Structure 1
Amino acid sequence: MTPQPGGGLLAPSDIADLAGVSRAAVSNWRKRMTDFPHPAGGTASKPLFSASEVESWLAAHPDKKRVESIVNSAAKEWEAQLWGVANLFRGHTSVHAMGEILVQTAVDVNEARPSYAGHGIRQASVDQLRDVLADIPRAELANVVDRVLERTSRSLGRSAGETGFVGSRTSFLLASLTSGLRGGTLYDPACGIGVALLEAVEMGARPNRIVGHEINTAAAEIARGRAILRGVNLDLRIADVLHHDPDAELRADVVIAEPPFGMRIDRTTTMIDPRLRFGIPPRSSGDAFWLQHVVAHLADEGVGYVLTSPGMLFRRGAEAEIRRNLVLGGWVHAVVGLPGKMLPHTSIPLALWVLGKTRAVTRTEVLLIDASSVDAPENEVAAWLSGDEALAKVPHMRVSVEELTAGDADLSPGRWMLSEEVDEVEVEREFEQTRQDMRRASAALSEISRAMAAPAMSGAPPVLTVAELVEAGAIETASARPLREADAAELDGRHVDAAAVRRRELPSVSHLNRIQARELTAPGDVLLTATHDIQAMVDEEGGHLPVGSVYRIRVADPTKLDPHYLADALTGEWNLRLASGATIPRIPVREIEVPVPSLQEQRAIHFAVSEARRARDLATEAAKVADSMAGTMLTAVRHGISLTTTPTEGLPG
């Protein structure tokens, strides 16, 4: 297909964003609306549509847009047009370079100067991009460009984390800590595309000077362009801060830094670097280098906020010595342990260091905050560092410098947290509750064990394989089949995989649209997985889609088979002998053997098996309750809480 001019090209996901609907909805439009535009580019599996044709179609079908989408329709249309034109660059440039072209062209439009295509880029594509940007009001241009950059960053993964990205939680955190700055200098030695610096200004910071250093030329150019679009005077220099200090005389009132993790250090260079007065960092990690670089550039009353990997808080060797020297020198105000997944490209937790010169009185304590279980610490840290009232809501501890430096100067907040105060009434309540739960579980288990009996059998039942049951017309089987992309999206939320069968937990489909599809289960169907071992359950509700290794078995003749008994019998241990495969054992479903007694006997067997499994569950519950009871009693002993008035005389010594 040849791309069509006029507004660029949109992928189905772009159309969904423009209309404020799901991708499945767009898929439905394509299948059911005969006037929906035909693909104008892309491939059969990844089609692209003319943006102008899509916009015309949505205008002709206003009911297809969600209300919240219509409210911001102008902004969404600008973004969709930009994204559509951006699709014209696919295959001609990298995602990084596409962001640089977008920002540079926006700056050209903003400053009324011509735009030129770079190497390998068609001038016609740049001209289309410029035309779309020119239609956006100047007051909205920076924000619209940023939202497109935010979408672009989703496809960059780890590399986006190294240069920063619009919408970053960590950049928001640093900006929030800086927002109160009035006058002075704000500095970021690894500013990337300038997200934290510019967001700080948007949140209220009003420094006299903003300085940024960045090693990546493309990221620096994007940062420079974003600053121009916002009317912010950014003093930006492309520099390798680790190898050479680009401005040794710079002293800043606030320094923020979110440097890349895991950067290696050139020890030959660092041996004589005046910034490293607290110790020479190990070659394997630059965390300790960045901390010392920030300290070296703080003004007398300045404060630094640095994000590092958690290892910098506890690693031994040279880093432990550097930590000790920083703490002894009174430079560490606070450390905040953050939760994992603050960055999209890594799940490791982060550490926020708050650094500053010692005031008139030598600092004797360091504030350690454990925010590892806080959902959105980026909204809270500034308040925690500002006053005790907000700080009381999060686990924290003020630890003396003497105690911190006695060992390896481990600054991991969780390491120093004391157990919370124990409520005596609550301990007594928990103990009484566990006693009641134990009595209830024991009574129910005892009742089941007394009543349990094997069902009466009239004789040896016939044993048939699944294949023979199918041939006899008693059951029907179907394995999970790959679906078309459009169908898969429509059936999203109904999937049942092997893990769900093993847990015996099926997703609820009551909230989904009632659709008819032959791949879906009916109430009473048996779901089976035969990988590693055999697990089976009855789908009482129906409407699910078996995926992966899950089979669906439907009882075709209910006068011959009860589905609940069938699910029990399929898992019989005798079938495990059929397993084959050295790495992942699999049992051939058609060869699984099922004894087939009378229907009345099947139901009696299912009842007995269910009672045995209920006894197993009760025993498991009783074991958990017993563990909880033991823990509660030990807690009571630790805190001197009496749980009984029974005298202890006569107990084993």
Structure 2
Amino acid sequence: MSTHEAVPVSLAEIARIAGVGRAAVSNWRRRHDSFPTRIGGTDVSPQFSLAEVEQWLRSNGKLGEIGGRELLWPRFEALGSRNESGLAVAEAARRMRSPKARTGRTQLSAPARALVAEAARVGRDEGPRETFEFLLQRWLETHVRQLSTTPPQLAALMARTALAVRLGPARGRLTLLDPACGTGHLVAAAVQEYDGAGWEVLASESDPALAALTAVRLDFLAEDHAIRTRTITADALRDHPFSEAEADIALCNPPFNERDWGYEELATDQRWTHGLPPRTEPELAWVQHVLSHLKPGGAAVVVLPPAVASRKAGRRIRGSLLRTGALRAVVSLPPGSAQPHSVALQLWVLRAAQVGPAAAPPSQDALLVDATQFARPGTREPSPDWDSLGSYVLTAIAALDQPKRKLPQGSVRVPLLDLLDDEVDVTPGRYTAVTAEPSRQELAAQWGEFASLVTDLADQARHLSGLGFETGTAQTTTTVGDLVKAGALTLRAGQQPPDAAAPARGASVPLLTVADLLHDGTPSGSVPAGAAPAIAEEGDVVVTGVARAFKAWVHEGPPMAVGPQLYVLRVDAEKLEGHFLAGCLCAPANGRQAGTHASSSSRVDIRRLQVLQLPLEKQTVYAETFRRLRTFEGLLTAADGSGKGLVRDMRDRLAAGGLTT
């Protein structure tokens, strides 16, 4: 692959190609005069020629055992277009599987066609499936802000739920439908989870690149699982592919908040048996679409935003779904279960009515399950405890058609008479509040947790109290503005996205505002990534520009947009340590000195904030101490909340009687 054109690669990409850390590449650049010169980018984020980098790595023995696929990806990325690169990955995978395969219908540019041919050769040498999965994963990571995928754990849970709710044998020749398949995560996980031999998988997707990638994924799966697959590029609502198909199971993670879903042209569509979905309720159009494709007794599980359960515009359709027995259960998932990660999404469990004299009458209740308790607060990745979550949900679902079976705590059967009021609100948390006094075992566990927090606090206190400080030594400082001028960091200011900007499909990111920080620090909304001028990536420093909520911290989660009076600082890792910078910035004196007025509502001039001038090695020592101080602060908050909760629960238990001495 030494004939590459001048494809630009960053230091991070060079590190990935060589299988080392970015710091090692920076060292090579400083120590070796022969290291390729910069061809673009900036001093902070330089770019180099892929061909020159490959030649230098080979000449200096730095490639090791890294395969050719690592050298492929920068060329796919250099195609520029998300669609063309995705279609090229799919076409390369087709050629990997079958070298004599005819070229697909999609027209690719000359560079893309040449890249497809080279990628096909690499894939046949290094494994077609492995190479395709590698390229697909890199493509998804590159375009994460524009795409929404279903985690495999959630996909498996949805498939298990659908099979448990479906009336009929759980295995055999089944038809699986996903009308908004994206890149095929949902159907792929379902087939892999159940080894769906003999299944027929029907998938449709309006985006040609996503549909092509799904088709290839399913082709690879068909080699192992003996499934029949059909993937169509079409808008499921407008074009209605598979209009005559009947599915045993339907799984769907539809686009949210799409206003242009075909309201006018589909007004008289026969799928709307429960009522024409309002223009502002596209999710209820998807619900009725999957219901229209179910066989009698067939089941569907759909991922929906929580607002669908309570919005006034959809109450008539929700009421009809309940009265006919089509909506059998609603499950509230913990935040982090799927994109957008800041929202507690819901699973709507649907079942088509049976027909014939043996058909059971519609159920007179619905199962509501609040599984938000399985969140993992404080973790870097906001992912739930999938094992516990899955076990809990399936235990509750197993009792769906067994009225006498005991439900797990947090789940409840609600009579339709209670649900069919003026609101028809099917939000589980509204009906599953727990008010029972804590048990002896629960109190013991709370005391154990509190004791652990106190022990951790004491450990941090011993370390922090032992630190020494020099006196009388003047310390040199600089400002954020000067650091920006020096190229040590970049500064981006958050703004309020325009109201008219509707979230695009798969392109939304959580939005953090000052009001969120004053509440609980959790982003309360989401915005299209393209409408957000400042997005914090992992490792960026976020600073509040208002005195009443002044703070600075290192962002450690997925991409997040920031609103007005919030700022994102991205550091050059060769000049600044993120935690050191955040620690210096969040000093209370900094906020007081940089404020433009004396009141608590005053703005903070971010560029005037002071930062110590220290070499990178010493910054690391300070950064570790700042981390400890932040941990100490977090433990204090946790101990305060845990202690107050313990006092409340102890009072409840004492008031209930039964004290022994």
TM range (shorter): 0.5 to 0.7
For residues 380-459 of structure 1, the aligned pairs below 5 Å read 383-387=391-395, 395-419=410-434, 421-423=436-438, 425=440
Q: Is the 8 Å Cα contact of residues 404 and 410 (structure 1) preserved in structure 2?
A: yes
For residues 209-248 of structure 1, the aligned pairs below 5 Å read 209-231=200-222, 233-248=228-243
Q: Unaligned regions of 5+ residues in structure 2, if any?
A: 164-169, 375-382, 400-406, 452-470, 491-536, 555-564, 566-576, 611-635
Q: Deviation of residue 382 (structure 1)?
A: 5.2
Are the structure 2 counterparts of residues 208 and 329 from structure 1 closer, same or farther at C-alpha, using a change threshold of 3 Å?
Answer: same
Structure 1 equivalent of residue 483 of structure 2: 482
Q: Deviation of residue 99 (structure 1)?
A: 0.9
CA distance in 1, matches of 2:601, 2:341: 34
Structure 1 equivalent of residue 290 of structure 2: 294
CA distance in 2, matches of 1:42, 1:497: 24
Are the structure 2 counterparts of residues 631 and 43 from structure 1 closer, same or farther at C-alpha, using a change threshold of 3 Å?
Answer: closer
* 1:228 partner amino acid: D
* 2:603 partner amino acid: I
Q: Deviation of residue 331 (structure 1)?
A: 1.6
Structure 2 equivalent of residue 130 of structure 1: 117
Q: Is the 8 Å Cα contact of residues 173 and 379 (structure 1) preserved in structure 2?
A: no
Q: Is the 8 Å Cα contact of residues 215 and 241 (structure 1) preserved in structure 2?
A: yes
**SS in structure 2 opposite 1:152?**
helix
Are the structure 2 counterparts of residues 11 and 634 from structure 1 closer, same or farther at C-alpha, using a change threshold of 3 Å?
Answer: same
Are the structure 2 counterparts of residues 221 and 331 from structure 1 closer, same or farther at C-alpha, using a change threshold of 3 Å?
Answer: same
Are the structure 2 counterparts of residues 102 and 551 from structure 1 closer, same or farther at C-alpha, using a change threshold of 3 Å?
Answer: closer
Q: Is the 8 Å Cα contact of residues 303 and 354 (structure 1) preserved in structure 2?
A: yes
Q: Is the 8 Å Cα contact of residues 332 and 366 (structure 1) preserved in structure 2?
A: yes
Indicate whether 1:140 and 2:148 are aligned. Answer: no
Indicate whether 1:97 and 2:97 are aligned. Answer: no
Q: Is the 8 Å Cα contact of residues 8 and 86 (structure 1) preserved in structure 2?
A: no
CA distance in 2, matches of 1:376, 1:486: 39
CA distance in 1, matches of 2:595, 2:185: 58
**SS in structure 2 opposite 1:48?**
strand
Q: Is the 8 Å Cα contact of residues 4 and 51 (structure 2) preserved in structure 1?
A: no
Per-residue CA distance 1:73-100 (angstroms, 9 max, x = gap): 5xxx24312213214423xxx1222111
Q: Is the 8 Å Cα contact of residues 366 and 400 (structure 1) preserved in structure 2?
A: yes
**SS in structure 2 opposite 1:154?**
helix
* 1:304 partner amino acid: A
Indicate whether 1:332 and 2:327 are aligned. Answer: yes
CA distance in 1, matches of 2:133, 2:474: 58
CA distance in 2, matches of 1:114, 1:286: 38
Structure 2 equivalent of residue 17 of structure 1: 16
Larger radius of gyration: 1
Q: Deviation of residue 276 (structure 1)?
A: 1.1
CA distance in 2, matches of 1:157, 1:405: 40
How many matched pairs?
512
Q: Deviation of residue 477 (structure 1)?
A: 3.1
Indicate whether 1:547 and 2:572 are aligned. Answer: no
* 1:253 partner amino acid: D
Are the structure 2 counterparts of residues 382 and 504 from structure 1 closer, same or farther at C-alpha, using a change threshold of 3 Å?
Answer: closer
Indicate whether 1:84 and 2:74 are aligned. Answer: yes
CA distance in 1, matches of 2:600, 2:140: 43
**SS in structure 1 opposite 2:483?**
coil
Q: Deviation of residue 152 (structure 1)?
A: 1.9
* 1:376 partner amino acid: P
* 2:581 partner amino acid: V
Q: Is the 8 Å Cα contact of residues 262 and 286 (structure 1) preserved in structure 2?
A: yes
Indicate whether 1:274 and 2:259 are aligned. Answer: no
Per-residue CA distance 1:2-57 (angstroms, 9 max, x = gap): x9628966432223334444333332332234554555776764413436854873
Per-residue CA distance 1:135-187 (angstroms, 9 max, x = gap): 324893234223322222234345312xx47x666545545657865312111
CA distance in 1, matches of 2:594, 2:121: 70
* 2:438 partner amino acid: D
**SS in structure 2 opposite 1:376?**
coil
Q: Unaligned regions of 5+ residues in structure 1, if any?
A: 437-469, 508-530, 532-542, 553-566, 592-618, 646-653
Per-residue CA distance 1:189-216 (angstroms, 9 max, x = gap): 1122323223322332234321122222
Q: Deviation of residue 269 (structure 1)?
A: 3.8
Per-residue CA distance 1:536-559 (angstroms, 9 max, x = gap): xxxxxxx9975389589xxxxxxx
CA distance in 1, matches of 2:447, 2:341: 43
CA RMSD of aligned residues (A): 5.3
Structure 2 equivalent of residue 596 of structure 1: none
**SS in structure 2 opposite 1:150?**
helix
**SS in structure 1 opposite 2:423?**
coil
Aligned to 2:301, which of 278, 297, 305?
305
Per-residue CA distance 1:530-587 (angstroms, 9 max, x = gap): x9xxxxxxxxxxx9975389589xxxxxxxxxxxxxx99x799999999699952669
Are the structure 2 counterparts of residues 485 and 385 from structure 1 closer, same or farther at C-alpha, using a change threshold of 3 Å?
Answer: farther
For residues 155-166 of structure 1, the aligned pairs below 5 Å read 155-161=142-148, 164=149
CA distance in 2, matches of 1:497, 1:27: 26
Structure 1 equivalent of residue 518 of structure 2: none
CA distance in 1, matches of 2:446, 2:189: 51
Structure 2 equivalent of residue 635 of structure 1: 652
Q: Deviation of residue 250 (structure 1)?
A: 1.7
CA distance in 1, matches of 2:232, 2:591: 71
Per-residue CA distance 1:384-438 (angstroms, 9 max, x = gap): 45446999777322223332224522211111113164235479889999xx9xx
Q: Is the 8 Å Cα contact of residues 497 and 549 (structure 1) preserved in structure 2?
A: no
* 1:29 partner amino acid: W
Are the structure 2 counterparts of residues 380 and 6 from structure 1 closer, same or farther at C-alpha, using a change threshold of 3 Å?
Answer: farther
Q: Deviation of residue 321 (structure 1)?
A: 1.6
Structure 1 equivalent of residue 316 of structure 2: 321
CA distance in 1, matches of 2:140, 2:50: 23
Aligned to 1:584, which of 589, 594, 603?
603
Q: Is the 8 Å Cα contact of residues 309 and 351 (structure 1) preserved in structure 2?
A: yes
- Aligned-residue identity in percent: 22
CA distance in 1, matches of 2:124, 2:390: 34
CA distance in 2, matches of 1:430, 1:279: 50
CA distance in 1, matches of 2:303, 2:607: 53
What's the TM-score, normalizing by structure 1?
Answer: 0.63
* 2:207 partner amino acid: N
Per-residue CA distance 1:202-243 (angstroms, 9 max, x = gap): 332234321122222332233233333444642223333323
For residues 464-475 of structure 1, the aligned pairs below 5 Å read 475=474
Structure 2 equivalent of residue 30 of structure 1: 29
* 1:285 partner amino acid: E
* 2:10 partner amino acid: A
**SS in structure 2 opposite 1:281?**
coil
CA distance in 1, matches of 2:486, 2:608: 28
Q: Is the 8 Å Cα contact of residues 261 and 285 (structure 1) preserved in structure 2?
A: no
CA distance in 1, matches of 2:250, 2:46: 45
* 2:109 partner amino acid: I
